[in-house]
Structure 1
Amino acid sequence: MRRFIRHVLPVVLLVVGAAPLGVAGAASASASASASPVTAAAGAVNPAPAVQPGIREWRGGHGEFRLTPRSRIVLGGADAAELRSMARTFATDLGALAGRILPVVTGTPKAGDIALRSRSADAQLGAQGYVLNIGNVLEVDATGDTGVFYATQTIEQAIKLDDRHTSIPRGTARDWPDVEQRAQMLDVGRKFFSIGYLKTQIREMAWQKLTTFHLHLTDWEGFRIQLPQFPGLAAADSYSPADLRELQDYARTYHVDVIPEIDLPGHATPLTTYDPKLRFACTSMDQGKWPGGELGGWTLDITKQHTRDFVHDLLEAVIPLFDSKYVHVGGDEIGLDDKKNACPELVSYKNARGFGYTGDVFVDFLNTLNKQVRSHGRTTEAWEWWDQYGQQSSIAPDRTIVLDDYIDSDPSPLVAKGYTVVASPEPVLYVSPGFGQKIGDYGYVDVGDTYENYAFPTPAVGGGRVLGYKVSRWSDSAETQSTAFFDHFARRPLEVLAERTWGSPRVPSAWTFLSQVDAIGGPPGSTAFSLRALPKAGMTVSTDSEETTAEDGRAINVLDDNPYSAWHTAYSPAAAPMPHHITLDLGANRQLAGFRYLPRQDAGTNGRIGAWTFDVSSDGVHWRTAARGTFADDQTEEEITFPTTSARHVRLTATSAANGLPYAGAAELTLLRPDSDSGPDKS
């Protein structure tokens, strides 16, 4: 998601002294071609628009479909009731792009119109696929309203990629996903996120055709739902029923399903704090080895009828607040067998019930919760845990429970047991910014590996199947960090998840794919909507200092769209003093409105820029200061905006380092253009 630390600097451009492009001995290089919208050669068929997720099947035509002052959104008579509200949202979005809100009408489409239908008999499209026939009329067809909605997101992105925001290449698209559920989980239990932030996530999820927003609503930091039946249970930062209603109504507009999770019986600290009688007396089960578990009250004592009655009443209060067919009941990170077998009351309960293992007590409890959830006409979802790390049980969770498989990299074994599975494998889809310090560490997803090498298997055997895949965003050990910090780690994994689970054609590398994503920008209404990344192809770079002996710290690395590489100023045999600068030549004057600075991502701190200035020039001699400031001393990508200006050359000067040492560096430097920019300036 496109959430950055943002500094909006409405400063007047300051003229500073003329300076040469580089200094004696400065290094320079040029960027190789990177992804950008492709224009068909004369006589060639049109390539597919470079939308995200990419279109699965495309047959290119010739010429363009173009919006005109007379264009309309036309509904067929049979579809009008189902599609009218969506069509109005679509019209508003197009208005933000094209400067005119198209009227929504019922009737026969004419040239320049967009026709929406939801009566397709193409079974392969499923509920979420669609067909675009782009000619004189842009025709959308799908089997239902969700497919039509996803078609509108493709159309909006394609129009956004056109510099005039009026045209789409002619051709035929046939597009559908690999899996039904493409999800984001957000841990709001440990760290509270506002309703406004959640709505922003929903809009950006819809832009990427993600279907499901799983909210982890309770953990040791707090219970996040205000329930009148349980006064005093909710944390100070929590959601009222009205908040949840507002959120779900908004989500419905964008075809995103909001799934609640009440984690039971582990992660129960706020419940046992609220009612201490819910706790285990035995220390082995009262505490957990996970963050927060040392406080005690980690696991509910489900051997007590009082606890079971409490949980029943709690779910009865929560379930009606949500529209989703799914209710997640947690079920993970309960003490392993050595802890369970060391608990006298648990062993006694196991024996009294005739169970073979103490683990059976928890499987039976999960099945009891499943019966309650199903009594509401819902489907239970839970984390797979009962059979991990050598735990023993003689019974298994009901096959009607959807299991989140996060420990295994391949969901196939669980599917083979007959379960419906949502896969969120820790090595490739777990985002836990409180742990990993460099790409590939636990919780810091190696998106290059996930995009290029993870198979996203979709087995369907023995009655089981893969329902979908999920990026799980955990807040433990980072509860006090900013939302921008969290988004820095989650943005790229979500983009990769959306692409790979849709089944889009693969591009040569993850970095090519991600540069295509950046070229699109965000959805209408988002903070990223008005700015788009300027393609780096053809740019050249120069610097006063780069390390090439002890490491590959060349300046050209800021233009390769690869966060694993970085520019670093020279330090062998010795470092030159501050300031240091890096300069980009765009080849022609372009409209610029900001830039993004990504510091090194390998856990090192040397080279993180502290104070800086950003200067622009049309001739490389006379410079104007567009912005100045100080970057945070962390790994987060920072976005700087300034009043739109025309420039061919840009120069980032580090006047100090965040750690006070004489080094500067960057993994990536990305220039931002206003969405209205239509190419090199003619002046």
Structure 2
Amino acid sequence: MEQPRISRRGFVVAGLSLPILAGLQTNAFGDAAADGSARPATSVAAPPTVLPAVQRFDAGTVAKEIVPATRIVLHPDSAASLRSAAEVLAEELVAEGHLSRAPQVVLSRDTKPHDIVLKLGAVDQVDNPEAYSIVTDQTVTVTAPTAAGVFWGTRTLVQVLRSGMPVGRIVDWPTLSERSLMLDIGRKYFTPDWIKALIREMSFLKLNTLQLHISEGLGFRVACETHPEIVSEEHLTKTEVREILAFAKKCHVRVNADVDTPGHMDHILSFHPECQLVLANGTRQHGALDFSKPDARRLVHEIVGEMCDLFDGPVFHLGGDEFFPAPWQGTGPDVISDSTAPQLLQYARDMTGNPSATAHDGYEFYMNELADLVRSKGKTARMFNDDVYPGEGVNRVDPQTQVDVWIRWNPTKPNAGQYVAAGHEVINSNGDYLYFILTSNGLGTGPYKNPKGIYERWTPRTFMGAAGSAGDYHLPEYQPVFGAHLSVWCDSPQSMGQDEVARLLQEWLQVFSQQTWGSPKPVATLDEFRVKVAERVGTAPVIHIWD
């Protein structure tokens, strides 16, 4: 039977998915409580309804209301790193209707009843830099080992205050180091304000990483001084990028960038056709780089180096996907192989010094060289898993490079466990669940590529077993998962506006937040989640201090 034609950017498209939070009053990513107003601060003795749900809650008997005398108190030793979180919380208490004016932010070792205390310190029996505790006694005290942990604690506090005051003790921590969203701005321009609103919403849900896919076949969306010719008319200036990075830092969201290479380079190579791969039969691969050419490699190195210098996130993604044919594309004269691209074969043998090397070995050498550049900039290199084959060929992808596992075409291909065994950190971006795709027919979907599939079936250990929802692969518990990310792919960028993207994406973010935090799910089904959790939690407050 013929295999379905599946590609990363739009596989198993079957209609529209319209996840809309019942009763949610929002503008783009929303602007406060789910019903548009703050709720009275009554005590909460049951586990609080928050997103993501907390790991541990110990009930208590003391409840503290927010009153006009409430202060936000910072220990002098912690003040420098926590002042931003305190100022944000102060404004939110007003925006949420708990106070008529912002509370004082004070530096003191002494506290008073009704104070909110933010401090750095260990969280009992939890060794995690993003862990935090909230203890209610004479004060409400948020403690964490890092500023990020304290900030996550204030996100929980804001959510709790929408239905009451915390009573007792919360101890909370994530199970994944990276909880991420990838946004395809290469194909579709999103305004800086929209991206900031997305970051604000992500931080409200404790999602800690945004990856901007700045280069794709349809565009390059960030100003580039080394190669200004490749920059699309609609793009982010470097000033706008730096403003986004500064905003994200306030939200404790890291911003990584990616430049997809050696495939998906149609736009860049339209300005450098001399760097396009030309096959033996004369077929020009408009989106494929001929990395056997020194000038082609230099082009990519200059672009990647400049973007590494601009973006301050700890990771730089190099793409690497869909360069060689997928199984359903066959081995004919118009796809890349040893016989159709002899220049890549020769490059591989020249670089490795091995007469048995293949074009794929040359690809690995090219990606390793780029990864070395990324590491020289103080960042971790990451690439998609399509053409990472541990133990095969005469070369190998450097195990220091993280592997972003979105696909497994069929069971003959490596699984996530094999990447871990080869020494790679893995990121789960399972294309059967975690792909939010703008298609010509609207939002693409599949059996599980929707909030219901994510919430009811997917976990961070659920990798693709075979493409097209043909099976899952569950990574064994003894093998670590570094992170997971949702992907917003803009295959048909004009199919919806950015506000429509925000509206539909909201529920995906919420369920993904719950699944990647790793705490016990508050309810079993998406229908229950919508009514009992999402409606009550609402969306991130909008305050002027974010501007």
Return the TM-score normalized by structure 1. Answer: 0.66
The structure with more radius of gyration: 1
Q: Aligned pair 1:487/2:465, yes or no?
A: no
Moved more, 481-490 or 501-510: 481-490
**Partner-residue secondary structure (3-state), 2:395:** coil
Deviations 1:343-372 (A, max 9, x none): 232233334443522111111111001111
Report 1:173-322 matches (<5 A): 173-282=170-279, 296-322=285-311
Deviations 1:417-452 (A, max 9, x none): 22101111011111113178788527x723223212
Q: How far 1:135 moved relative to its partner?
A: 2.1
Quickly say closer, same or farther: Cα 1:285–1:258, change in 2 above 3 A.
farther
Q: Which has the higher strand share?
A: 1
Give, as a single letter, the amino acid of the residue that structure 2 aligns with 1:267. Answer: H
Out of 122, 129, 132, the residue aligned to residue 131 of structure 2 is: 129
Moved more, 329-338 or 99-108: 329-338
> 2:516: which partner in 1?
501
Question: Could you tell me whether the CA contact under 8 Å between 1:184 and 1:473 is conserved in 2?
Answer: yes
Q: Aligned pair 1:457/2:473, yes or no?
A: no
Question: Could you tell me whether the CA contact under 8 Å between 1:223 and 1:235 is conserved in 2?
Answer: yes
Counterpart CA distance in 1 for 2:188 and 2:444 is 23
**Partner-residue secondary structure (3-state), 1:428:** coil
Deviations 1:123-164 (A, max 9, x none): 6241111011012200111111010000000011111234xx
**Partner-residue secondary structure (3-state), 1:160:** coil
> Which structure has the higher relative contact order (CA within 8 Å, separation 6+)?
2
> RMSD between aligned alpha carbons?
3.1
Quickly say closer, same or farther: Cα 1:38–1:497, change in 2 above 3 A.
farther
> 1:323: which partner in 2?
312
Q: How far 1:228 moved relative to its partner?
A: 2.0
> 1:56: which partner in 2?
55
Q: Which runs of 4+ in 1 moved over 4 A?
A: 1-8, 37-41, 283-287, 435-440, 458-462
> 1:521: which partner in 2?
538
Give, as a single letter, the amino acid of the residue that structure 2 aligns with 1:77. Answer: P
> 1:378: which partner in 2?
379
Counterpart CA distance in 1 for 2:499 and 2:200 is 17
> 2:86: which partner in 1?
87
Q: How far 1:63 moved relative to its partner?
A: 4.9
Q: Aligned pair 1:448/2:452, yes or no?
A: yes
Unpaired runs of 5+ residues, structure 2, are: 1-18, 29-38, 410-414, 463-474
Give, as a single letter, the amino acid of the residue that structure 1 aligns with 2:112. Answer: K
Report 1:400-549 matches (<5 A): 400-408=400-408, 411-434=416-439, 441=446, 445-457=449-461, 465-506=480-521, 507-515=523-531, 516-525=533-542
Question: Could you tell me whether the CA contact under 8 Å between 2:123 and 2:131 is conserved in 1?
Answer: no
**Partner-residue secondary structure (3-state), 1:297:** strand
Q: How far 1:39 moved relative to its partner?
A: 11
Question: Could you tell me whether the CA contact under 8 Å between 1:2 and 1:487 is conserved in 2?
Answer: no
Deviations 1:392-440 (A, max 9, x none): 6432211111111011497333222221011110111111131787885
Quickly say closer, same or farther: Cα 1:436–1:171, change in 2 above 3 A.
farther
> 2:143: which partner in 1?
141
Quickly say closer, same or farther: Cα 1:119–1:39, change in 2 above 3 A.
closer
> 1:344: which partner in 2?
342
Unpaired runs of 5+ residues, structure 1, are: 9-36, 163-167, 288-295, 528-683
Q: How far 1:85 moved relative to its partner?
A: 2.0
Moved more, 227-236 or 433-442: 433-442
> 1:27: which partner in 2?
none
Quickly say closer, same or farther: Cα 1:38–1:106, change in 2 above 3 A.
closer
Give, as a single letter, the amino acid of the residue that structure 1 aligns with 2:536. Answer: A
Moved more, 202-211 or 260-269: 260-269
**Partner-residue secondary structure (3-state), 1:496:** helix
Counterpart CA distance in 2 for 1:441 and 1:284 is 37
**Partner-residue secondary structure (3-state), 2:106:** strand
Give, as a single letter, the amino acid of the residue that structure 2 aligns with 1:499. Answer: Q
Counterpart CA distance in 1 for 2:444 and 2:259 is 31
Question: Could you tell me whether the CA contact under 8 Å between 2:41 and 2:163 is conserved in 1?
Answer: no
Question: Could you tell me whether the CA contact under 8 Å between 2:41 and 2:66 is conserved in 1?
Answer: no
